[in-house]
Amino acid sequence: MAGTPRKDEISGVETTGHKWDDIEELNNPLPRWWLWVFYASVLWAVVYWIAMPAWPGISDYTKGMLGYSQRNVVQNELAAVKASRAEWDQQILNSSLEEIVKDDTLNQYALAAGKAAFGDNCTGCHGSGAQGGKGYPNLNDDHWLWGGSLEEIHTSIAYGIRSTHEDTRVNDMSAFLRDEILEKAEISDVAEYVMSLSGTATDAQAASRGEELFVDNCVACHSEGGLGNRDLGAPNLADSLWLYGGDKATIIQSIAYGRKGVMPTWEARLDPVTIKALSIYVHALGGGE
């Protein structure tokens, strides 16, 4: 490959001596502009080492004369963002939920903030589109266990459900089999009756037997005809939406062992502005109430 440089007859230029497959390289000078850019780059590198963080050490690194740090830049940017939001946050804090929704700009701000907060805090259970799942309510539909007004949603988020907060929303769906209130067969009958409320029952006789048991044991919370009671968070059993599932086995499971879904209180974790924004965002998802 490497050889001795020689003068090329055709161009009259010296070769580099490099030869690949009989192709030789002429030792032409570098373009001047390229050379100067190269020298400038070398100089720039030296200046950069002095000015900016450059060399790693054992436990530290050279800081550079300008004291630049990407971590500081991020912190400053975050502080700047926070400062730019302060005015809006103050307005959100000082306004009622109703007022915020009526003010177009504030509403847009709250929706955007709520969306981000929802993604950070709520999607783990409720899903990224708030579509919920088994045991976790879908927040897009029109069924609200504890009420779908702005205030009611706000209360649910702030205090939680069966949470550690002293004002938490709480109810107690008995475990009718485990606590030996009803027999297995009776529970099956009640399940048939519950299904009949939304027109999905298969055994009319069992359903009619179950009706009596329902009146004795369930109406207190779920109301007559299973229409539910928002004050107690008792779901409407006559509509077509089911939090845990509307098939017979799941309904029997719910009656036999009860259901005690938990939502934590967010008051302790999120600031009031974020909770307000979340309420507005959740309210807007499916149109709220």
Partner 1 sequence: MSTKLEDIVRDATIEVDAVNKKENRSLYKKREPIFPKRATGQFRRLKWLIMILTLSIYYLVPFIRWDRGPGAPDQAVLIDFPGNRFYFFFIELWPQEVYYITGILIVAALLLFFFTSLFGRVWCGYSCPQTVWTDLFIAVERWVEGDRNARIKLHRAPWSLEKIGKYSLKHTIWLLIGVATGGAWVFYFADAPTLFVELFTLQADMMAYSFVALLTFTTYTLGGLAREQVCIYMCPWPRIQGAMMDEDSLQVTYKLDRGEPRGRAKKAHDDENFGDCIDCKQCVVVCPMGIDIRDGSQLECINCALCIDACDGIMDKMGTPRGLIAYDTDANLARRIAGKAEQFTLLRMRTVLYALAIVFVCAVMGYVLMTRSSLDLNVLRDRNPIFVKLSDGSIRNGYTVKILNKERSVRQFAVSVDGLPVETLKINDIADTSTAPIVEVKPDSLRSVHLFISVNETNLASASEPVNITVTDTENGNSVTYDSVFIGPEKRP
Q: Which residues bind partner 1 (CB under 8 A)?
A: 28-29, 32, 101, 107, 127-131, 138, 140-143, 236, 239-241, 284, 286-287
Give, in order, the Cα–Cα distances in Å from 221 to each of 215, 236, 238, 282: 10, 10, 14, 26
Q: How far is the CB of 122 from partner 1 (least distance, A)?
A: 14
Q: Is 47 exposed, middle or buried (0-12, 13-18, 19+ CB in 10 A)?
A: exposed
Q: Cα–chain-centroid distance for residue 287?
A: 19
Residue 58 CB: number of other CB atoms within 10 A? 5
* Separation CA 218–CA 207 (nearest Å): 14
Which CB, 93 or 241, lies closer to partner 1? 241
Q: Smallest gap, in angstroms, from Cβ of residue 273 to partner 1?
A: 21
The minimum distance between CB 271 and partner 1, in angstroms, equals: 25
Q: Which two tokens stand for residue 112?
A: 């955007």
Nearer to partner 1 (CB atom), residue 272 or residue 287: 287
CA–CA gap between residue 256 and residue 173 (Å, rounded): 10
The per-residue DSSP string of 135-171 comes to TB--SSSS--SS--SHHHHHHHHHH-BS-SSTT-B--
CB closer to partner 1, 116 vs 284: 284
Residue 165 beta carbon to partner 1: minimum distance, rounded to whole angstroms: 28
DSSP state of 92: H
Which one, 118 or 159, has the nearer CB to partner 1?
118
Q: How far is the CB of 284 from partner 1 (least distance, A)?
A: 6
Closest to partner 1 by CB, 28 or 41: 28
Looking at the Cβ atoms of 101 and 256, the one nearer to partner 1 is 101
Cβ nearer to partner 1, comparing 107 with 208: 107
- Report the relative pairing of strands 23-26 and 15-20 from DSSP bridges: antiparallel
Residue 228's nearest CA partner among 147, 124, 174, 134 is 147
Instruction: Closer to partner 1 by CB, 168 or 236: give it.
Output: 236
Min dist CB 248 to partner 1, Å, is 18
d(CA 217, CA 144): 23
Residue 287 CB, shortest distance to partner 1, in Å, is 6
Instruction: Give yes or no for a contact between 117 and 89, defined as CB atoms under 8 angstroms apart.
Output: no
